[in-house]
Each structure stands twice: as structure tokens, then as C-alpha cells.
Structure 1
Amino acid sequence: MKLDLEKLREQIEVAVKNAFLIIIEKEKDIYSFALYSDENCETLSVESNTLEYLKKAKIDNEEEDSDHYSKYSLEEWDYSITKDINTFSDINKLLKEHFNLISFENKKEEKIFLKFQTSFYDVCVEVLSKLKSEGFFKEKLGKEIFITFGVTEYEFESSKQREIVKTLNDNKYAEEYLNWMNTL
């Protein structure tokens, strides 16, 4: 089964828009929004964080450099904001079916999957970039936010992560994130 990436791109865009609208209906205080997947490309979801939750994280975590880590690391964000959002259920069903058909019994299958993984992650970033360039996020929320793409249990190379942040942000958050990355 080969996934049609163009059709998937359209589905992701609709799901992201709907998820963002649900989030800002509940939380006007958000400063961040992320689309994220897993290393097997079986799931896709969104995450967001609020300034209030960030303040609480700063109080709870007194480690040096925890401010930036809490602010920009998806695993530190408030998962309660997005726990009931199911705009990705059809996409996730399709992704899971696609992954279950891969045997990984030979190098060729593995190469095919890795090519798909790269393409899929690129599509996710492209969708966010398109919505950002169209002004979707700023128009709906009324302010600039930090936008990113992440993968659970997987870490992009530093240069790739920088590229994602630069592509999706042209605001104070991008500058602050990139300066923080330089200290790591």
C-alpha cells in the first residue's frame, strides 16, 4: 500500500486547522503550537502550551536553563489542552495501516520506509509552513506564536531542527530558540 502524499497533505492541513480552532476556543493564552508524529509514522497529533502553564513549570523546575527547555520542548508542554482532540483519527488509521504492511525483513523494505518517513515529516513541516505563510495562526489567535514539528522518541539532527524552526518562525521565538540551541 502506497500512501498518496498529496492527499495526505490535504487531510493534514484540514486536521491541523480544525485542531488549532479547537485549542484556541479553549485557551486564548497559548504561545506555542506543534504538530508531532512518532518515529514509525503511525500517529499524528498536535500539542500546544500556555503562558500560564509555562510560569508554573518555571516555579516547579529550578534547574538552570529549564526556562528554555520548558518553553520549547514538547514533552514539557500541557498535554491536557489537546487530550480530547481527535481531528487526526482518520489520518492515524491510515498511517497505522500503512506501517502494519511494512515487513522490514530486508534492506529494501527498510529503505522504502525511511524514504517515506522523510517525505512524511517534510509534508508535516510544509503544511505548517503553508498555514504560517497564509497567516492562519496569527489571524485566528491575534498574535504570533512559536510553531514547530517534533517526533516522539526521535531526535532530529541539530541542523534539521534549526531548519524546521527557521522555516516555521520568523519572530522573537525563533531567535530565542536558535540562541538557546547555540548553548547546547
Structure 2
Amino acid sequence: MDFEILKRQIEDAAKKAFLEVYEKHGAEGVYSFALYSDEGAMTVCPAANTIKAMEMADEDDALYYKYEPAEWTYEMEGADEEFDDICTQLRTELNKHDDDDQWFEGFQAKLYSICIEVLEKLKNENFFTKITGKDIFLIFTVSDYEFEMEELKNLIIRLNDNEYKNEYIDWMATWGN
């Protein structure tokens, strides 16, 4: 698999997904965008949330709903065809190497890294800010998988130069308490 081509495809799909969500739901106050995958590295999907959706969140768990892409209102919305094509390519590649655990670990790590690099590139180009006029919380996550705390903290710092970064890191400090 040509990871440079895959990276461009993920970038193009992420841009299209965000634009589609913003066009449909921008009036709701889009504040977040994520790319996420699964532990089997078979998918890449977008997610977004809005301030309006957050108004309905339970106060006790507000930060969880604010920052957990699996709970966001616009999960798997936008650039459907593009993300479907990406997922098909990933599954095809995985099927070629069905029983090679060492190959899989490298593939999985590279896919996750590419998703993070795409989000970082879009942040650095001010892609989201140019569209919304404000900072957007960015995250990459993996369903049914937990990053090490320090790895997650570094990811949040890398993808967010805004008030969301500090709030997320403060929230992390409460985990397990």
C-alpha cells in the first residue's frame, strides 16, 4: 500500500467531511472534529460535534460528551463515498496479510500516524479556523482502544493550540479519581 497516496486520500476526505458538516450544521456551532479508526485498522471515519448538541449533555459528564468522539452527534457524517473507499482499501490490504502479526502492527501504527499527521497538517494550515472563524478541538481516537496517558496528552498538545487543550489536560487529571 502506498501510504503517501492514502494520506492524501484521508486529507481530502477529512476536508470534504468537515466542509459538509459545517455547511449543514455550522449554525449549531461546530467546535470539534476527529478522525478515528478501530483496533483492527480496518476503518477511518470522521466525527464532529456542535455547541447545540452539547447543550443536551448531562452536566455531570459534560466533558466526556464534549471530548469523546464516539458520543458526538455527527459521527461518520461527511465524505461518505471517500471514507468508504478508504475503508475498502484498508480491508483489502489487511486481507492480503491475514496471519502476519508483525506486518499488522506496522500497518496499524502507520495508519494511526497518518491520521494524526493529517489533522496536524490541517491545523497548521488553519483549515478549520478559516472556515469557522474560531478554534476547533481536534483529536484522533481508536474505538475499543486506550492510548497511554502520556501518549494521549502529547496528542492533545500536538493537535490543539487553544483553550480546548488546557481544559482537556485538566480533565485528564481527574481520571481515576
Kindly state the Cα deviation for residue 10 of structure 1 after the two structures are TM-superposed: 0.9
**Contact 2:16–2:78 (CA<8 Å) still a contact in 1?**
no
Q: Which amino acid aligns with 1:86?
A: E
Residues 141/84 of structure 1: CA separation in 2 closer, same or farther (3 Å cut): same
Unaligned runs of 5+ in 1: none
Determine the C-alpha separation between the residues in 2 that align with 1:6 and 1:83. Answer: 22
Partner of 2:72: 77
Partner of 1:20: 18
Partner of 1:179: 170
**Contact 1:37–1:45 (CA<8 Å) still a contact in 2?**
yes
Aligned length: 173
Equivalent pairs: percent with the same residue? Answer: 42
Residues 119/181 of structure 1: CA separation in 2 closer, same or farther (3 Å cut): same
Partner of 1:38: 38
Residues 81/132 of structure 1: CA separation in 2 closer, same or farther (3 Å cut): same
Q: Which amino acid aligns with 1:19?
A: A
Determine the C-alpha separation between the residues in 2 that align with 1:101 and 1:74. Answer: 30
Determine the C-alpha separation between the residues in 2 that align with 1:84 and 1:138. Answer: 20
Partner of 1:94: 89
Q: Which runs of 4+ in 1 moved over 3 A?
A: 83-86
Residues 80/93 of structure 1: CA separation in 2 closer, same or farther (3 Å cut): closer
Secondary structure, aligned partner of 2:31:
strand
What TM-score, normalized by structure 2, do the two folds share? 0.92
Is the radius of gyration larger for structure 1 or structure 2? 1
Moved more, 168-177 or 71-80: 71-80
